[in-house]
Amino acid sequence: MTIDLTAGRPQPADSTSTAAAALRELASCPVHLRTDPGYDESRLAWNRAVEQRPAAVAKPKTAHDVSRLVRLAAELGLRIAPQSTGHNAGPLAQRGLDDVVIVRTGALSSVTIDSVRRIARVGGGTIWDPAVTAAAEHGLAALHGSSPDVGIAGYSLGGGIGWYARQLGLAANHVTAAEVVIGDGTIVRADADHDPELLWALRGGGGSFGVVTALEFSLFEIPSAYAGLMVFDISRAEEVLRRWSTWAVEAPDQVTASFRVLHLPPLPDLPAFLRGRSVVVIDGAVLASDDRADRILAGLRSLKPELDTFLRVPAASLTRLHMDPEGSGSGISGTAMIRELPEAGIDAFLSAVGDRTSTSLMMGELRQLGGALSHPADGGGAVSHFDGQFLAFGGGPVMSPEVALQVGADAAAFTRALAPWTGGRTYLNFVEDAVDTRQGYDELTWRRLSGIRSAVDPNGVFAANHQVPRLYEDGRPSR
């Protein structure tokens, strides 16, 4: 489909409240305004630490509802921000929402599995759990992440690092098609034969290019995996991390794993031996036979963990392997791309997160990169590989404004401590603050993305967590 670049942006309405009220009157789906009783509930992001107060919240049920919302917003001088769950809502809120309509895509939830072509088609608001379950019924697996209730669209458009990533690469590069409402309200299909440039941008470029109402992606014949976790006492953190960091760089592409320091609260729903403890956890998945997997993991098992659950499991169970919280949460985090992790880097990581008496962070993590993640994917999108050996992530829960200040400070200290060993492009899916989005891309990719944004959204209707600007815009956060 040809994209019309001639449309000019209409004059904005007298005020955002008047414009939002007009949008509600003309929309074909429910719209909550700031003065409505249902507004506060509908505006909440998955991450409750994010305070987002948009001009309105819309809840479309069809792609045509979305199309009408986009057209109306353009005419009324409002902007549109799609959001299925709000796991990464912080950057959007920090950029300002006074003229923004958050479009909740949760009702656009559907899953269709084509087992012959090994393709899944999902609605734009679908989360991973039902899609993984449906694929498993056919002995197939998707490149899902570590949480069952993350939105597929946001995860995939930003890159998508899952348990098979070192062998199969990023989820974004296995998106085969998307149906998108672009800036003039037109519903377009982007695939290899229709708007391939838009498909390229969506595969790693994030949500700046439109509202995704449906997504199609490849599935893989993975009915099971050799997966699990190992647990060590925190007193062994240095010993285990030194072994794991060397093993992770040398390990074959068949394995994808992570290392975590966890400071666990004394919650009754935790196993008794973990309540209130600080521990080291290694978890991961191996796409190999049991014998081959045992050989790959032998160097870690020789450390004699107090718990080792690695065994052959159904592939669908991996959505909960990482024990990520389900349902809404409240947290602040920091992240860094780690070029290499020498002994000094190991010491810095453990100094930042290893002692629960000196940090409010509940978790410090290193995700293993390399393998297929270390080189450009054939026919890949805007993000198809990473330059680092590890992806670091540290965060903690927040229950009050005072705690939020402390966790925020400790998360910033965590990333500063690792700064001497960082390098390469930032993985924006893990960045919870408004930053200069160009950090996620090389210069040629950045210019190409800006050109595509200018084509599909010439009037700047869309607001994204990590905004790709139009060609004549700066793109850095203004606040």
Q: What is the pLDDT of residues 215-239, one digit of tens each?
A: 999 999 999 999 999 999 999 999 9
Average pLDDT over residues 354-368: 97
Burial of residue 8 (CB within 10 Å: 0-12, 13-18, 19+) is: exposed
pLDDT tops 50 at residue 11: no
- pLDDT tens figures, 419-428: 999 998 999 9
Which of these, 253, 249, 92, 257, lies nearest to 158 by C-alpha position?
Answer: 92
Residue 217 · residue 178 · CB < 8 Å? no
Report domain 224-430's class: alpha beta
Residue 366 · residue 392 · CB < 8 Å? yes
Within 10 angstroms of residue 126's Cβ, the number of other Cβ atoms is: 24
Least confident stretch, 166-180, 265-279, 301-315? 265-279
pLDDT tops 70 at residue 326: yes
Residue 475: per-residue pLDDT: 62
pLDDT tops 80 at residue 302: yes
Residue 62: per-residue pLDDT: 98
DSSP label at 127?
A: B
Residue 4: per-residue pLDDT: 35
Q: Which residue has the higher pLDDT, 303 or 87?
A: 303
Average pLDDT over residues 172-199: 98
Residue 282 · residue 229 · CB < 8 Å? yes
Residue 269: per-residue pLDDT: 85
Here the tokens at position 219 are 């599935």
Here the tokens at position 460 are 């700047």
Average pLDDT of the chain to the nearest whole number:
94
Question: Could you give the count of Cα atoms lying within 13 Å of 134 in the half-sphere of its Cβ?
Answer: 18
Domain residue ranges of the chain, discontinuous segments joined by + = 18-107, 224-430
Q: Which residue has the higher pLDDT, 14 or 180?
A: 180
Residue 260 · residue 240 · CB < 8 Å? no
CA distance 441 to 428: 10
Which of these, 171, 211, 169, lies nearest to 190 by C-alpha position?
Answer: 211
Sign, CA dihedral 5-11-17-18, equals negative
Which of these, 396, 389, 412, lies nearest to 334 by C-alpha position?
Answer: 412
Q: How far is CA 217 from the centre of its chain?
A: 16
- pLDDT tens figures, 198-210: 999 999 999 999 9
- Percent of all residues in the chain with a pLDDT value above 90, rounded to a whole number: 90
Residue 316, CA distances (Å) to 116, 141, 442 in order: 19, 7, 35
Q: How confident is the model at residue 329 (pLDDT cuts 50, 70, 90)?
A: confident
Q: How far is CA 232 from the centre of its chain?
A: 28
For residue 39, the one-letter residue type is Y
Average pLDDT over residues 43-59: 95
Residue 104 · residue 38 · CB < 8 Å? no
Average pLDDT over residues 9-22: 72
Residue 13: per-residue pLDDT: 42
Which of these, 211, 203, 109, 129, lies nearest to 160 by C-alpha position?
Answer: 203
Residue 198 · residue 448 · CB < 8 Å? no
pLDDT tops 70 at residue 479: no
Would you tell me which CATH number, out of the four given (3.20.20.150, 3.40.640.10, 3.30.565.10, 3.30.465.10), belongs to the domain 18-107?
Answer: 3.30.465.10
Residue 468 · residue 475 · CB < 8 Å? yes
Residue 476: per-residue pLDDT: 66
The reply to whether domains 18-107 and 224-430 share a CATH topology is no
- pLDDT tens figures, 100-152: 999 999 999 999 999 999 999 999 999 999 999 999 999 999 999 999 999 99
pLDDT tops 90 at residue 270: no
Residue 119, CA distances (Å) to 133, 174, 215, 218, 347 in order: 14, 10, 10, 5, 44
CA distance 171 to 145: 9
Q: Which residue has the higher pLDDT, 300 or 13?
A: 300
- pLDDT tens figures, 54-102: 999 999 999 999 999 999 999 999 999 999 999 999 999 998 999 999 9
Q: How confident is the model at residue 14 (pLDDT cuts 50, 70, 90)?
A: low
Go through 187-215 and write b for each residue having 16 or more CB atoms within 10 A of its CB, e for each that does not: bbbbeeeebeebbbbbbbbbbbbbbbbbb
Long-range (24+ apart) CB contacts under 8 A made by 264-270 are: 264/362, 265/362
